[in-house]
């Protein structure tokens, strides 16, 4: 009797999980995700061909860039962006694809919005292959505390031993 109850419980649990899987597979859209009121569709990352499509892309991203410019140097006092004003990842990638077709005004707005503040410090890699920009003040600052706990006494100089180790 107990064996039958356990067996029935296992079957009912499997049936329950299968029904849930089918429900989500059938009723949830597989082709896109929703952010705000917009549907993010992977097909939207196709190449834009007409100038009206490029200007639509510019108009979608323009409020976000203008907000970044107004926010530069200010840490408080500006309202948050609405989720539908934040560009999707596909929109940002699309900018790189159609950069040559963008209007000069939009290119200038974009360059101003992504500019690294002059107050940031820079560290150039020893090989000169990349630069790291950082600040020590404000909400984006890097901590100057030593979180790894290294001290001068922790470092030891390796000496050459006779066995090659």
Question: What pLDDT was estimated at residue 114?
Answer: 84
Average pLDDT per block of 10 residues along the chain, 165 residues long: 52 58 48 45 53 87 85 64 80 88 93 84 88 81 68 59 60
Question: What pLDDT was estimated at residue 104?
Answer: 93
Nearest one of 137, 143, 92 to 113, comparing CA atoms: 92
Alpha carbon dihedral 49, 51, 56, 61, in 10-degree steps, equals 90
Question: What pLDDT was estimated at residue 74?
Answer: 60
Question: What pLDDT was estimated at residue 105?
Answer: 95
Q: What is the largest CA-CA distance in the chain?
A: 79
Question: What pLDDT was estimated at residue 145?
Answer: 72
Question: What pLDDT was estimated at residue 35?
Answer: 45
Segments making up each domain of the chain, as ranges: 7-134
């Amino acid at each position: 009797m107990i064996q039958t109850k356990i067996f029935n419980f296992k079957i009912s649990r499997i049936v329950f999980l299968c029904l849930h899987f089918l429900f989500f597979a059938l009723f949830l859209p597989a082709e896109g995700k929703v952010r705000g009121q917009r549907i993010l569709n992977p097909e939207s990352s196709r190449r834009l061909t007409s100038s009206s499509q490029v200007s639509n892309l510019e108009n979608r991203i323009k409020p976000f860039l203008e907000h970044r410019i107004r926010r530069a140097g200010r840490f408080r006092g500006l309202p948050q962006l609405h989720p539908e004003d934040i560009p999707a990842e596909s929109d940002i990638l699309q900018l790189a694809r159609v950069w040559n077709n963008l209007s000069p005004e939009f290119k200038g707005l974009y360059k101003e919005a992504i500019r690294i503040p002059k107050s940031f410090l820079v560290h150039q890699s020893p090989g000169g292959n990349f630069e790291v920009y950082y600040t020590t003040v404000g909400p984006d600052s890097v901590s100057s505390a030593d979180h790894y706990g290294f001290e001068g006494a922790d470092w030891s100089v390796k000496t050459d031993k006779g066995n090659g180790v």
